[in-house]
A and B are shown apart, each in its own frame.
Chain A
């Protein structure tokens, strides 16, 4: 029997008792549908997280934090002895220990690191609209996060100009009718120095940002040079220079793949911690993947249950078609071919179930994602809850076909073993 005839015969046999096949296929569809949705959900959320985190910087950057214990912080191991070497320069900021200028130099001196930028926080007081109204600002967005910011209009601030982006929610307060109108407005940033003297810096709105879940784009974000000017003023006013302290530094690494581990090791020796983007991403994605797999597990259980439906359907079919099987064997069909025919029927059921289930799953995922992202969750920029992953879908289809084939082996073996004489006996 040729393969095309086996497939055709299997198809017409499965269509013979339509209701029974339909019910069996429905069970497979439910499993396939669920698996398509859960794995697509995992892929979608992971995609969003990747997009969000990759916005924080280049993938060849290393984020360096201090790893030295903070004096006075409850460690549970008793008090830490005071050591002017490690604790002297690094003032603590919000309970975390910080990096000093010395640390920055240490980082810069490590082989393979081409550049280090300390991350600084600028606390502006207000933003003045063109009409003179002033609006309170907590902290400004960091220019190093610029890549993570999604824009509703305009462009990101050019690094060496006095430009700034404002969040979309500020557009109306600034007196602009739309995000596009807000681009080009002249605003002023008010900031206090160390002794509380206010100063205003002029800036032009270069773009309107959307707030992402990470927080990026949720506050006015100055250009790099404006940020430097503001930071300098913020720290001025004291007679003596206060030692600088930074919560984090961003180090550019020439070849992260080759040197990453060694550089991290050296940082650890200097009481610092280096994290790559992947390290940060990995932690989040680890959690997402774990949740996804738990959900996938439920879908797999549904598929397992459905596979017993296939066993049951085919056993009935073999029973009913005893004579037909006997006839085919008498007419020269070998046991192996009979086995092939009945496993093809199982695979055919699996194929119908997976095509329908995966199709419904993808449609539901895409439409549901669209409805949520443009509806209740529309404030979350760049959010995706469902992603179509063709390779994943192919794997799901193959998995279902494999399960169906396995489920078909028991009935197919029974059919293959039928004795034509027994099967064709009359009297």
Chain B
């Protein structure tokens, strides 16, 4: 059984204190494996976004642990957490959060700019990813001049540009009509299938949730139903692969160097003590190795 890409233990999030105290998450323990597609569903106010923010390291839990690749992140310095987010995650929001005055290309390459990638490489990779989403003809347009569906594609391109291991999407189709939603969903699940990118999608939309392999239902800050959990508990370790359709497809022509490797064989991470500076560096190095390793295995396959 591989180390889950994300796992939580007894995750608690409390907003406010005293009379205005609100327990948004009441002790959540879950694992998300590499290459899974997970829908987080539930009524408004049930804590879906809160959970996603904690998983995406955008916020710190009141109590409990979030671990990325088997390593707890709570001991990391804020700057190190920022770097992790920049390297490992992609984000798609309900609202697009594009910089209206900037070009599509500039918007898409923002994560690379933050990572300190030189301009020429940003441009090359930006055009690459826009081509995959069939948006390269709009690269120099102002973000403002696009339709809603195009904007969401730009957002997905931005989420993809750093070659993330997990894409978080909070109501990604909440602002789109059903036809456009369909297109955006197809893109997301295509990426998931072809590259083995882990998807964590918060949604109200039952159709969208149904396309995910796993559905986490939330109610009042608790997970009331997790269909994968039952599956994992029942199956032998090897069966963890079973719910996923065969994804050893060769790289698609569009993506070129990318190939899908859902569960790269990785040694289980040792028990994680509080992270020292050296370990933190090792964690980052491992993130690199994970990526190149995935590519290497793709070639072998």
User: Min CB distance, A361 to chain B, in Å?
Assistant: 34
What string of 1s and 0s marks CB contacts (under 8 Å) between B76-119 and chain A?
Answer: 00110011111100010111010101000000001101111011
**Cα(A421)–Cα(B170), bound, Å:** 12
* Residues 307-363 (chain A) with a chain B CB within 8 angstroms: 323-324, 326-337
Any B CB within 8 A of the CB of A372: no
Any B CB within 8 A of the CB of A283: no
Q: Which of A1, A327, A335 contacts B116 (CB 8 A)?
A: A1
Q: How many residues of A contact B (CB 8 A)?
A: 23
**Cα(A331)–Cα(B101), bound, Å:** 19
Q: Which partner residue on chain B sits nearest A3 by CB separation?
A: B116
Any A CB within 8 A of the CB of B186: no
What string of 1s and 0s marks CB contacts (under 8 Å) between A1-16 and chain B?
Answer: 1100100010000001
**Cα(A424)–Cα(B58), bound, Å:** 11
Q: Which of B84, B85, B101, B115 contacts A16 (CB 8 A)?
A: B101
Any B CB within 8 A of the CB of A82: no
Any A CB within 8 A of the CB of B142: no
**Could you tell me if B95 and A331 are in contact, using CB atoms closer than 8 angstroms?**
no
**Main secondary structure on A side of the interface with B:** helix
**Cα(A333)–Cα(B113), bound, Å:** 10
- A-B contacts counted at CB < 8 A amount to 61
User: Min CB distance, B15 to chain A, in Å?
Assistant: 11
Q: How many residues of B contact A (CB 8 A)?
A: 27
**Could you tell me if A332 and B115 are in contact, using CB atoms closer than 8 angstroms?**
yes
Residues of A close to B85: CB separation below 8 A: 330-332
**Could you tell me if B94 and A330 are in contact, using CB atoms closer than 8 angstroms?**
no
Q: Which partner residue on chain B sits nearest A327 by CB separation?
A: B97
**Could you tell me if A328 and B110 are in contact, using CB atoms closer than 8 angstroms?**
yes
Q: Which of B78, B110, B111 contacts A335 (CB 8 A)?
A: B78
Any B CB within 8 A of the CB of A420: yes
User: Min CB distance, A14 to chain B, in Å?
Assistant: 13
Q: Which partner residue on chain A sits nearest B174 by CB separation?
A: A426
Residues of A close to B93: CB separation below 8 A: 424, 426
**Could you tell me if B97 and A1 are in contact, using CB atoms closer than 8 angstroms?**
no
**Could you tell me if B101 and A1 are in contact, using CB atoms closer than 8 angstroms?**
no
A2-B116, A2-B118, A333-B114 known; A426+B91 contact, CB < 8 A = no
Selected A-B contacts with CB under 8 Å, 27 pairs? A1-B113, A1-B115, A2-B118, A5-B119, A16-B101, A324-B97, A326-B97, A327-B97, A327-B110, A328-B110, A328-B114, A329-B82, A330-B58, A330-B91, A331-B111, A332-B82, A332-B83, A332-B84, A332-B111, A332-B115, A333-B82, A333-B86, A334-B78, A335-B78, A421-B53, A426-B94, A426-B95
Instruction: List the 3 shortest-distance A-B pairs measured between CB atoms, nearest first.
Output: A332-B86, A334-B79, A334-B82
Partner-B contacts on A (CB < 8 A): 1-2, 5, 9, 16, 323-324, 326-337, 420-421, 424, 426
